[in-house]
Amino acid sequence: MITLALSKGRIFDDSLPLLRAAGIEVLEDPEKSRKLIIGTSRPDLRVVLVRATDVPTYVEHGGADLGVAGLDVLLEHAADASAGSGVALYRPLDLKIARCRLSVAVREDFDYESAVRQGSRIRVATKYTHCARQHFAAKGVHVDLIKLYGSMELAPLTGLADAIVDLVSTGSTLKANHLLEVERIMDISSRLVVNPAALKLQREPIRALIDAFEAAVNKA
Ligand code: PRT
Ligand code: MG
């Protein structure tokens, strides 16, 4: 049995066409069922539904053989010392789905350029503390990082922070909250990650699955 970890929402939705192109149908709609383990049209493949941020943990510890996770999640996970098992994930494939970018945004009336130029400390609220720290360190900007788990957009509006580092796709969330994207840190997409031990133990079927995903990505 091969176990694939997906998160509900955009990763599940964007993975479906790739699975379909690989000849795999998922047998249940996670929005309608409360099941956390769902079968597929392939008797030897099942899907487990986990939080987006838990996908690397499942794959790393063998709770799943493969998983789909955003590069944002993978980078933060890898940097998280408490994750510390040291088991590297085999990251073979950019699925080019759930695409967005990691950006810096500020209030429309905040002068980011001079704040950064003057070398003053800025307060940055984000869920992506590792990526944010690296970004500002590379620019030589002093930051006080404030870790948040959601609704980052609120931080500059309430005076909690001067800036946020968050994912942006259409930009409409920023716009609705009168925030401006002032810097693009990196482009993000989701990756297929694989447990290296699983790849060794079930080389043939897992390799075939990776190849099928790859063909589907190239066709998309
Ligand atoms: O929602 P939950 O707390 O359960 O977990 P999650 O937010 O980690 O999961 P999910 O499903 O929302 O995101 C999974 C992955 O999708 C992320 O790890 C990213 O790699 C990718 N992705 C792609 C996005 C977006 N686009 C995106 N727009 N993740 C989040 N957003 C959010 C963003 O944080 C902001 O709040 O959408 C808002 C901005 O969207 P626009 O279109 O208004 O710019
Ligand atoms: Mg979300």
Query: Are both 114 and 75 inside the same structural domain?
Result: no
Q: Is 162 in the pocket of ligand 1 (CB under 6 A)?
A: no
> What is the tens place of the pLDDT at every residue in 17-31?
999 999 999 999 999
Residues 90 and 127 placed together within one structural domain of the fold: no
Name the least confident of 39-48, 86-95, 174-183.
86-95
Mean per-residue pLDDT over the chain, rounded: 94
Own/partner contacts of 77-81, CB < 8 Å, gap of 24 or more, are 77/53, 79/130, 80/130
The DSSP call for residue 24 is -
| Residues 213, 134 within the same domain | no
Q: Is the same domain home to 61 and 138? A: no
Q: Which regions of the chain does DSSP assign to beta strands (E)?
A: 2-6, 37-39, 45-49, 66-70, 90-94, 100-107, 122-126, 143-147, 163-168, 179-188, 190-194
* Residue 202 shares a structural domain with residue 173: no
Ligand nearest to the CA of 151: 1
Q: Are residues 27 and 78 in the same domain?
A: yes
Summarize pLDDT for 142-193 with one digit per residue, the tens.
999 999 999 999 999 999 999 999 999 999 999 999 999 999 999 999 999 9
100 ligand 1 Cβ < 6 A: yes
Domain count of the fold of the chain: 2
Which has the closest alpha carbon to 100: 80, 77, 128, 79?
Answer: 128
Q: In this predicted structure, what is the pLDDT of residue 120?
A: 79
pLDDT range class, residue 83, cuts 50, 70, 90: low
Same-domain pairing of 80 and 40: yes
What is the SS3 assignment for 123? strand
Q: Is 73 in the pocket of ligand 1 (CB under 6 A)?
A: yes
Ligand 1 pocket member 75 (CB < 6 A): no
Question: Do both 104 and 177 map to the same domain?
Answer: yes
**CATH classification at residue 9:** 3.40.190.10
Q: Do 203 and 142 share a structural domain? A: no
Which of 11-15, 87-91, 102-106, 128-132 has the weakest average pLDDT? 87-91
Q: Which of the pair, 90 or 28, is modelled with greater confidence? A: 28
Give the structural domain span for 154. 100-187
Same-domain pairing of 9 and 93: yes
**CA-nearest residue, atom 29 of ligand 1:** 167
25 and 8 in one domain?
A: yes
- Looking at the CA of residue 71, tell me the nearest atom of ligand 1: 20
Strand partners, 154: none
Query: Would you call 68 helix, strand, or coil by DSSP?
Result: strand
pTM more than 0.75: yes
pLDDT-derived band at 84, boundaries 50, 70, 90: low
Same domain, residue pair 43 and 121: no
The CA distance from 55 to 59, in Å, is: 6
Give the distance (Å) from ligand 1 centre to CA of residue 15. Answer: 15
Question: What phi and psi values does residue 102 have, to the nearest 5 degrees?
Answer: -95, 120
